[in-house]
Amino acid sequence: MMFLDLARKNAWRKPMRTVLLIVCIAVAFLIYGLTASFLAGTQGTSAASDDILGVMSASGRTEPLPIAYMSRLAADPDIAAVGYMTRLRGFVDIDRNVVAVSAADPDLLMTVNGKGLGLTPELVKAIGEGRDRVLVGRALANAQGWRVGQRVAVTAFDTRKEDGGRDWRFEIAGIFEGENAATDTYFMIARYDYVNTARARAKDTVDAFIVRPRDGVPSGELAARIDALFANSAAPTRTQSEKQFLEAFLRQYADIGLIVNLVVGAAFVTLLMIVVNTMVFAVRERTFEIGVLKTLGFSRLGIMTLILGETLFVFAVGGSLGLVLAKLATMISGPELGLVFSLSVLAKGLAIIAALGLVTSALPAFNAMRTPIINALRAR
Amino acid sequence: MTENTPYIAISSIRKGYRLGAEAIPIFSDLDLSIPRGDFVAVMGPSGSGKSTLLNMLAGIDGPDAGTLRIGTSRLDQMGESARSSWRAHNMGIVFQFYNLLPMLTAAENVELPLLLKPLSRKDRRNRVEKVLDLVGLAGREKQYPAMMSGGEQQRVGIARAIVSDPGLLLCDEPTGDLDRKSADEVLGMLRFLNQEMEKTIVMVTHDPQAALYANRTLHLDKGNFHEEKRAA
């Protein structure tokens, strides 16, 4: 038997109470795991780059910019590559089945952010073989059950065609995987020339330019210079990193990070109170035994370590269970929910387990440590 | 320390308690000498200070004044952590109600004091097996206290008290909760430990028959000891 065995046996002396405590902790860490995974993977913000810049209209992201800006951007010596895209939102079959289409020049997109999106020369070649061809992201393809070669029709919400219709027909030329699991791949890439030619309005405009700065060029400074370049033009720009853009986009609806932190915070504060209360009572019930241990020669530090170990054991079991469940949930839910149980989520979770274990055991451990042996032995 | 120096030396001990504003004196000038290897029974009416004496000898309570030396250690000058360490290495205690931890097996209960010593798992297990064999509980290592009789639990308590091989054994009414037969077995075991293993034993008891197992009996009354004269 070791010190840890003693702590473990103490924890299990009332199995029902310990199981309920572990379930309680597991649920709190499941909530943490899911919400943190949601935050980490919210529509790809975790994978979004701080280096890739998006140049949009300062009047709002729905306001287009003239494609003529392209040449002025490309002339900047600090810009390594520039591309453009226009966004077409619509639905497939039923109006709740919303999809997004980014119409871009595939070659330019490959140069600017091909690595991040997981584009390959084969994919770019495949989309180039027909004007109505598209590349579909893996998450979207899986969610819709689409295959290469299949034809799909997207009914646009706003973007009408010259013939007045809103149905855009595409042929799937390939599927891009994204750089990693956190990359947003819940959209498709169409050819800009096809969309631009066929649409009824806003021809020769784009929703955004995508800029990759040269190595060593601070993206913040470049963004400011780009905005200054178009400050006095008819359509001033607002340049942000891809990450900033996505976060700002999400913040239009709500500060998701704040909401998630509040939910997790509330769960943990409740958990803290439950566990502290339970542990205080559990240790108080054993005051006499603590007196016996002290009589046998266990020091105050030894008693504190014992209670610390007991609480940490309960937290380790419950917290690990919660994190494992969260990981399983993110795997089962599939990529369309955008849940990414990253290493940082796991590391933060483990740190919280340790911190909460220490905080919750502090009061009962301190009480047990301080109780004089004489008083403890009278507590039977 | 010479050969004639007592193992336990209590000199001019003063000890009292406060009950609200009232001070209740227990000992005002207590002296006691116990040589190494002695087996002393302490008897006396309730409230005479037997438990207080035992608590002071165990280092779980301290005197208000006076000196208390056991072996070469001045317990009256030690802080709490030093007394914890002293208890772990020099003293074993046998309680009236055994005070075994219910979630631990007999062997694990006996092993508890050894967790405080730098011993390997194997050494601990060997020592536990040895003392359980000594108290007649070989083969009962994996039984929980609830599965044992009072006498058997007390034998586990004795095994726990001697497993770290302390020089001093303090017994607080060790047979107070046992029937006569079990009590005699436990007392016989204490006498064996005193005679064969040279443990110094101080036993507090109300039972005159239990006191007969000791080498001498001290009666504690009104804060003073009176040694009982025994027929030769």
Q: What's the pLDDT tens digit per position in A81-107? A: 999 999 899 999 988 888 999 999 999
Report the pLDDT value the prediction gives residue A43, as an integer from 0 to 100. Answer: 47
Residue A79 and residue A15 share a domain: no
Residue A70 and residue A21 share a domain: no
pLDDT digits (tens, 9 = 90+) for B71-109: 999 999 999 889 999 999 999 999 988 899 999 999 999
pLDDT above 70 for A49: no
Residue B226's H or E segment, with its range, is strand B224-227
Domain boundary (A234, A266, A294) is at A234
**Between A71 and A183, whose confidence is greater?**
A71
**Between A246 and B51, whose confidence is greater?**
B51
Give the pair of three-digit tokens for residue B69: 């030396």
Report the pLDDT value the prediction gives residue A249, as an integer from 0 to 100. Answer: 59
Return the residue in A14, A295, A380 with the most chain B beta carbons within 10 A, the one to mutate for interface testing.
A295
| High-pLDDT (> 90) share of chain B, % | 69
Report the pLDDT value the prediction gives residue B114, as an integer from 0 to 100. Answer: 94
Domain boundary (A164, A199, A234) is at A234
Which residues does chain B have within 8 Å of residue A12's beta carbon, measured at their own beta carbons? 103
Domain tally, chain A = 2
CA distance A34 to chain B (A): 37
| Residue A247 binned pLDDT confidence (cut-offs 50, 70, 90) | low
Contact A6/B at CB under 8 A = yes
Are A294 and B60 an interchain contact pair (Cβ–Cβ within 8 Å)? yes
Are B104 and A9 an interchain contact pair (Cβ–Cβ within 8 Å)? yes
| A113 within a domain of the structure (yes/no) | yes
Residue A326 and residue A206 share a domain: no
| A188 within a domain of the structure (yes/no) | yes
In B, residues 193-212, which contact A (CB 8 Å cutoff)? Answer: none
Q: Minimum mean pLDDT among A171-175, A194-198, A241-245, B56-60: which range?
A: A241-245
Residue A275 and residue A183 share a domain: no
| Residue B3 binned pLDDT confidence (cut-offs 50, 70, 90) | low
| Contact present, A322 and A329 (Cβ < 8 Å) | no
| Contact present, A137 and A99 (Cβ < 8 Å) | no
Residue A222 and residue A73 share a domain: yes
pLDDT above 80 for A255: no
Mean pLDDT throughout B168-177? 91
DSSP letter for B104, please. S
- State how far Cα A80 lies from the chain centre: 28
Residue A37 and residue A96 share a domain: no
Mean pLDDT throughout B215-223? 89
Residue A70 and residue A176 share a domain: yes
Which residues does chain B have within 8 Å of residue A309's beta carbon, measured at their own beta carbons? none
| A241 within a domain of the structure (yes/no) | no
Are B84 and A297 an interchain contact pair (Cβ–Cβ within 8 Å)? yes
Residue A177 and residue A144 share a domain: yes
pLDDT above 50 for A337: yes
Residue A354 and residue A289 share a domain: yes
Report the pLDDT value the prediction gives residue B92, as an integer from 0 to 100. Answer: 94
| A292 within a domain of the structure (yes/no) | yes
In B, residues 77-96, which contact A (CB 8 Å cutoff)? Answer: 80-81, 84-89, 93, 95
**Domains of chain B and CATH, by start:** 8-227 (3.40.50.300)
Mean pLDDT score across all residues of chain B: 90
Contact B99/A at CB under 8 A = yes
Return the residue in A299, A301, A313, A370 with the most chain B beta carbons within 10 A, the one to mutate for interface testing.
A299
Contact A298/B at CB under 8 A = yes
- Phi/psi region, residue A194 (left: phi>0; alpha: psi -120 to 50; beta: rest), is alpha
| High-pLDDT (> 70) share of chain B, % | 97
pTM listed for this prediction: 0.68
| A52 within a domain of the structure (yes/no) | no
Residue A226 and residue A165 share a domain: yes
Apex B41 CA angle, B37 and B208, nearest 5: 140
pLDDT above 60 for A134: yes
**Between A51 and A210, whose confidence is greater?**
A210
Three-state SS string across A226-249, please?
Answer: HHHHCCCCCCCEEEEEHHHHHHHH
A160: containing domain: 64-234
Please tell me which residue of chain A has the smallest CA distance to B128: A1
Residue A370 and residue A267 share a domain: yes
Report the pLDDT value the prediction gives residue A35, as an integer from 0 to 100. Answer: 87
Q: List, in order, residues 6 or more apart from A301 with CB less than 8 Å away.
A: A369, B81
Domain boundary (A200, A234, A268) is at A234
| A111 within a domain of the structure (yes/no) | yes
pLDDT above 70 for A13: yes
pLDDT above 50 for B136: yes
| Contact present, B175 and B183 (Cβ < 8 Å) | yes
| High-pLDDT (> 70) share of chain A, % | 92
pLDDT digits (tens, 9 = 90+) for A306-334: 899 889 999 999 999 999 999 999 888 86
By C-alpha distance, which of A195, A256, A155 is closest to A67?
A: A195
In B, residues 111-130, which contact A (CB 8 Å cutoff)? Answer: 111-113, 115-116, 121, 124
Q: Minimum mean pLDDT among A171-175, A370-374, B188-192: which range?
A: A370-374
pLDDT above 50 for B70: yes
| A28 within a domain of the structure (yes/no) | yes
Residue A214 and residue A158 share a domain: yes
Please tell me which residue of chain A has the smallest CA distance to B83: A297
